[in-house]
Amino acid sequence: MRALLQRVTEASVIVSAEVVGRIDAGLLIFVCAMPGDTKETSAKLAAKVAKLRLFKDAAGKMNLNLAQSGGAALVVSQFTLAADTRRGNRPGFSGAAKPADAEALYAQFTQDLRGRVDVVETGRFGADMAVALTNDGPVTIWLDTDAL
């Protein structure tokens, strides 16, 4: 699985003029399932996301994880994280998991994260989403479970 984390002061997802997910301070997490990913892969990624110390402590150092900071998570599916740009100018997305598998793993990741973080909101899998965010820092972290 792949994930792109952005530390935010606020973020929201709108689908067809309806706010389907919204958080204040925390992490906006874009997630992409890859072929061969499993429930164990999801659990590994959720554990890593939850443990990352990306939030400032009283001394201003990034020493707190999401739960310690009191922050929330907004999880959004994004198959484009599997983009292959090695040839031509049009990215290929065949490296992403099939939609049915990806949806199940997206749901699993969200569930795994809810076991570690108090507030977890989501986008809507497969929908055309408008994502709004205010970056904090900015802090942006790329994770790939193949490299964990």
- Is residue 30 annotated as a catalytic residue, yes or no? no
| CA end-to-end span of the chain | 10
What does the pLDDT read at residue 128?
97
The yes-or-no answer on residue 79 being catalytic is yes
pLDDT tens for 8-53 read 999 999 999 999 999 999 999 999 999 999 999 999 999 999 999 9
Residue 78 known to be catalytic: yes
Residue 67: which of 124, 108, 120 has the closest Cα?
120
Instruction: Give per-residue pLDDT as tens, 60-73.
Output: 999 999 999 999 99
Confidence at residue 33, expressed as pLDDT on a 0 to 100 scale: 98
Report the pLDDT value the prediction gives residue 129, as an integer from 0 to 100. Answer: 98
Instruction: Please give the pLDDT value at position 130.
Output: 98
Of 30, 41, 55, 78, catalytic: 78
Give me the domains of the chain, ranges plus CATH numbers: 2-136 (3.50.80.10)
**pLDDT band (50, 70, 90) for residue 88:** very high
**pLDDT tens, position by position, 128-142:** 999 999 999 999 999
Q: Of residues 80, 93, 134, 140, which has the active-site annotation?
A: 80
State residue 43's pLDDT score.
97
Structure confidence at residue 77 as a pLDDT band (50, 70, 90): very high
Catalytic residue among 30, 55, 79, 109: 79
